[in-house]
Amino acid sequence: MPARWPFRLGVALATWSVCLAWQSGVEPVGRVNALQEAARRIEARDASGAEAALKPLLDASPDDPIALNLLGLIRLQQGSPSQAEELFHRAIAKGPHLPGPHVNLAMLYGTARAEDAITELCKALEIAPGDSQAPVLLRTVARSAAAAASRSGDKEHALALLLRAKQALPHDPDLLVDTALAAMDDNLYPDGEQYLREALEVRPDFPKATYALARAYLAQSKMQPAEEQMRKYLRSKPDDATAEYGLGFILVNEQKVDEARAAFEKSLALEPQQTESLFQLGEISMQKGEADRAGDEFRKVLARDPRHAGALTEVGVLAFRAENLSEAQGNLERAIALAPAYYKAHYYYALTLKKLGRQEESQREFQVATGLQKHDSPILRIAPDRQ
Helix/strand/coil for 134: helix
Residues 6+ apart with CB under 8 A from 365: 346, 347, 349, 350, 353
15 φ, ψ to 5°?
Answer: -95, 95
pLDDT attached to residue 113: 95
Residues 6+ apart with CB under 8 A from 29: none
**CA nearest 294: which of 313, 309, 279, 307?**
279
* Residue boundaries of the structural domains of the chain: 318-387
Q: CA 116, CA 99: separation in Å to the nearest integer?
A: 15
Residues 6+ apart with CB under 8 A from 72: 83, 84, 85, 86, 87, 88, 91, 101, 104
Q: CA 207, CA 215: separation in Å to the nearest integer?
A: 13
pLDDT attached to residue 100: 92
Contact between residue 280 and residue 245 where contact means Cβ atoms under 8 Å apart: yes
pLDDT attached to residue 21: 38
CA 365 centroid distance within chain: 39
pLDDT truncated to tens, each residue of the chain (387 aa)?
443 444 444 434 433 333 333 444 444 678 888 898 998 999 999 999 999 999 999 999 999 999 999 999 999 999 999 999 999 999 999 999 999 999 999 999 999 999 999 999 999 999 999 888 899 999 999 999 999 999 999 999 999 999 999 999 999 999 999 999 999 999 999 999 999 999 999 999 999 999 999 999 999 999 999 999 999 999 999 999 999 999 999 999 999 999 999 999 999 999 999 899 999 999 999 999 999 999 999 999 999 999 999 999 999 999 999 999 999 999 999 999 999 999 999 999 999 999 999 999 999 999 999 998 866 554 445 556 665
Fold of 318-387: 1.25.40
pLDDT attached to residue 384: 60
pLDDT attached to residue 1: 44
Tally of helices (H runs) and strands (E runs) in the chain: 22, 0
Distances (CA, A) of 88 to 43, 83, 95, 383: 18, 9, 10, 44
